[in-house]
Structures are given as C-alpha cells and as structure tokens.
Amino acid sequence: MNITELSSHYFVSPQIELSDINALKEQGFAVIVNNRPDGESEDQPSSAEVQAAVEQAGLRYVCNPVDLQNLSHKEVLVQNELIETGDKVFAYCRTGTRSSVLWVLANQKDEASFVTLVADVMRKGFDLGRCLPAMERLKKA
C-alpha cells in the first residue's frame, strides 16, 4: 500500500485490496473511509465487500463516495466529522486524490489556508489541478 500522511490522524491511499484490511488495523487505523463510488473499474472491490472485511476486522467503515462533478458540502461534512473525532482515519479512492481534496476542504479556514493546504497536498504527490474547479465552489472566502 502506498499510504500518504496528510496529518497525524488522517492518511490517504489509492484503492485498497481486501487483503490490506488487517495491515491497516495493525497500523492503528480505527476508521476506513471509502471515497470511491462503486463500479468505477472492474477490478475494484465493492463497497459491500470492503465494509464486510473492515467490520470483520473490528474497524469502523464509512462510505462517502465522491464524484468531483457533483462534489458538495455533504461529502466534506462527512469527512470533517471523521477527522474531528481524533481517531486515526484512513481514506482511499482510485488514486488518493479525492480523499485529499476532502481533507483540504474540511481543514481550510480562509483563502490563505486553502492555498497553503492545496500546496502541501500537491508537494506530497497529488495533482489537485484538475480538482480545483470543484474545490473552488466549496472553498471559504
């Protein structure tokens, strides 16, 4: 797994496999968040399959799928509530980018913090360029 730490309690990754769940538990994650809609590709496990494996491992599962064309405050709010618990949160999507977008939007306070958070995430290897139009609609002034 290619896991990127965005904060001390929030980590993102590309698509996981069911066999990764126990390793995530061993790394101390309490919550696994799926930000990928079902059916994006034939090789991804379904949300139901991941949920079953996560719950069997004794972890909390949250499905918060993101479509950047329809990104709304709802998805940001769900992610923010998880971040604010203080639990160690692992979020994934196809590449980790959408999970990073939600982190930026949940943590921004104003224009300056938005710009700083975007730059921080991009330095960690996520190209948010294609996501900025969707993010701009939800950023705080």
Let me know how long the chain is: 141
pLDDT of residue 139: 87
Q: Quick check: 50 and 18 in contact, CB under 8 A?
A: yes
CATH 3.90.190.10 correct for 4-136 = yes
Residue ranges per structural domain of the chain: 4-136
pLDDT of residue 133: 93
Q: Which pLDDT tens digit goes with each residue over 86-133?
A: 999 999 999 999 999 999 999 999 999 999 999 999 999 999 999 999
Q: How far apart are CA 36 and CA 63, in angstroms?
A: 8
Q: Residue 141: is its pLDDT beyond 80?
A: no
DSSP string, 84-126: HT-S-EEEE-SSSHHHHHHHHHHH--SHHHHHHHHHHHHHTT-
pLDDT of residue 67: 94
Q: Quick check: 14 and 92 in contact, CB under 8 A?
A: yes
| Token pair listed for 124 | 């960690």
Q: How far apart are CA 131 and CA 97, in angstroms?
A: 9
Q: Which pLDDT tens digit goes with each residue over 30-87?
A: 999 999 999 898 889 999 999 999 999 999 999 999 999 999 999 999 999 999 999 9
